[in-house]
Amino acid sequence: MGPLEHLHNSDRTAAGEPVSKGQGPEMAAGPRPDRERRNGRRTFSKIAFLRRGQGKDPEFLIALASRLALLLRAGISLTAALEMLIRQEGKAPRKVLLEEILRGLNQGRYLHEVLGDRGSIFDESYRRMIRAGELAGDLPSVLEALATARRRTQHARARTVSALIYPVLVLAVALCAILFLCGHVLPHFQELYRSQRLPTLTAGALTLGQFLQRRGMALAITLALALVALVLYGKTPAGRQFLPKIPFRIPVLGKLLRRQCLVLFLRTFSLSLRHGIPYGEAFSLASSAVPVAFLRSQLHAIGVRSCEGVPLGEILAGETPFPAAAAGLLAAGESAGNLAAMASHAADLLEEELSLSLERLAAILRPLIILLLAALVAWIAIALLLPIAQLSQLQGLI
């Protein structure tokens, strides 16, 4: 009896009698057509909703792998573990998805085959890792490693987003407040200063206020239409190729995003090699996990050359997305025959550098934004007070 059959059965005989794939207590009970007819249409609609609304839900994928690993470690069969998860799941779309997976297993199919029917939810690297675990007869270990790697990647992504979202939100709110002052407050001072010759600073501020008051709505509509056009362009093949490159060309942000993608690649590559996936397939799998098309193409090209017999160290010595330290670790791992461990160390190194870079960036951006906002507020205040000061001086002279 192979390793895959064991996962689907909790009631094998003590003598180790073979059981056919997918057979177990659930299969022994026979098919339940009444339940299929009753739930078929409702299940289809909820699965369609899950695909449209959630897509690849990272938190769900991590939780599913982690909880399945714990239950399988406890000696519970795969089908029984899924039944427990179904009872514990509180969200209806996820519960329906788990029921569909359980039905697929009860039909005698393997877990990775069932997940393959739902590729919009379970990505290719997720499915291939589960396939490797099933073929090796060590699905709990693979699920644990998969959950750990994905959780670390998710934490790194969350740190990146949280480090960048706070300054952007503060800046956006402050700019909106300043535009409101310029568009609705400054024009009221126009009547007060009409008979007076205004300083250049005040004249510029009042001109900006008049422009925003007269053309503000047209400007807002133009910006909204430009945003819609940008979103529509992003859905075209040319837009999907061009737009993702823009953030990577920003000096500091591009470096952070590139390292985050490389951490995801290295984690997937190391995990794949550790669990017996061949080198070429592991490289392709890790490349496909990278969400950015142009970076994915670069990594795929490196994998193709490496599979053709070119040493990885020689490839990485040229122009590649890998930093020198990570490239050196990968080259050393290939020479020593321990590429999986070195890929994991390279991911740890890049993740640590990414964390330090985010901390430094946050430490620089926060006071910089405060200074910028203070300068803008000071500009408005000085622009309003200068004519009053001039008028006071003239009255003093008179």
Domain spans of the chain, in order of start = 3-122, 152-398
Taking Cα atoms as reference points, which of 327, 325, 301 lies closest to residue 316? 327
Contact between residue 373 and residue 167 where contact means Cβ atoms under 8 Å apart: no
What are the φ and ψ backbone dihedral angles of 107, each rounded to 5 degrees? -85, 0
Residues 315-353, buried b or exposed e (16+ Cβ, 10 A)?
A: bbeeebbbbeebbbbbbbbbeeeebbebbbbbbbbbbeb
> How many other CB atoms are there within 10 angstroms of residue 250's CB atom?
11
In angstroms, the CA 17 to CA 286 distance is: 39
Average pLDDT over residues 162-185: 77
Mean pLDDT over the full length of the chain: 77
What was the pLDDT predicted at 195? 64
Interhelix angle 251-274/139-180, nearest 10 degrees: 170
d(CA 330, CA 333): 5
Q: Does position 201 have pLDDT exceeding 70, yes or no?
A: yes
Q: What is the DSSP letter of 181?
A: I
Cβ neighbours, 10 Å, residue 106: 21
Tracing tokens 């709990």 back to the chain, one arrives at 140
Compare 89 and 191 and report the one with higher pLDDT.
Answer: 89
* pLDDT for the residue numbered 26: 35
**Helix H or strand E encompassing 9:** none
Q: Average pLDDT for residues 7-20, to the nearest whole number?
A: 36
What gap in Å lies between CA 249 and CA 320, rounded to an integer? Answer: 15
C-alpha span between 118 and 56 (Å, rounded): 10
pLDDT tens column, 68-99: 999 998 888 999 999 999 998 888 888 899 99
Helix (H, G, I), strand (E, B) or coil at 32: coil
Q: How far is the C-alpha of 119 from the C-alpha of 121, rounded, in Å?
A: 5
Closest listed residue to residue 102, CA positions, set 13, 17, 25: 25
Half-sphere exposure of 266 (CA within 13 A, CB side): 27
Query: Crossing angle for the helix pair 251-274 and 279-289, nearest 10 degrees?
Result: 140
Q: Where are the beta strands (DSSP E) in the chain?
A: none
Encoded tokens for 153:
């990647």
* pLDDT tens digits for range 281-295: 889 888 888 888 888
Residues with Cβ within 8 Å of residue 272, at least 6 apart in sequence: 125, 128, 129, 132, 281, 282, 285, 286
Confidence of residue 196 (pLDDT cuts 50, 70, 90): low
d(CA 376, CA 370): 10
Calculate the CA dihedral of residues 130, 133, 137, 143 and round it to 10 degrees: -80
Quote the pLDDT of residue 393.
Answer: 66
Lowest mean pLDDT among 15-24, 47-56, 164-173: 15-24
| Contact by Cβ (8 Å): 115, 101 | yes
0.75 exceeded by pTM: no
Average pLDDT over residues 172-197: 73
CB-count burial class (<10 Å; 0-12, 13-18, 19+) for 387: buried
pLDDT of residue 54: 38
Contact yes or no for 298/321 (Cβ under 8 A) = yes
For 208-246, give the DSSP string.
HHHHHHHHHHHHHHHHHHHHHHHHHHHTSHHHHHHTTHH
Which has the higher per-residue pLDDT, 331 or 132? Answer: 331
The larger pLDDT score, comparing residue 32 to residue 356, is at: 356
Token readout for 54 is: 């959630």
Greater confidence (333 vs 192) lies with 333
What is the CB neighbour count within 10 angstroms for residue 95? 16
More confident residue, 397 or 222: 222
Q: Which two tokens stand for residue 278?
A: 């061949």
- Report the chain's C-alpha Rg in angstroms: 30
- Region 375-388: mean pLDDT is 80
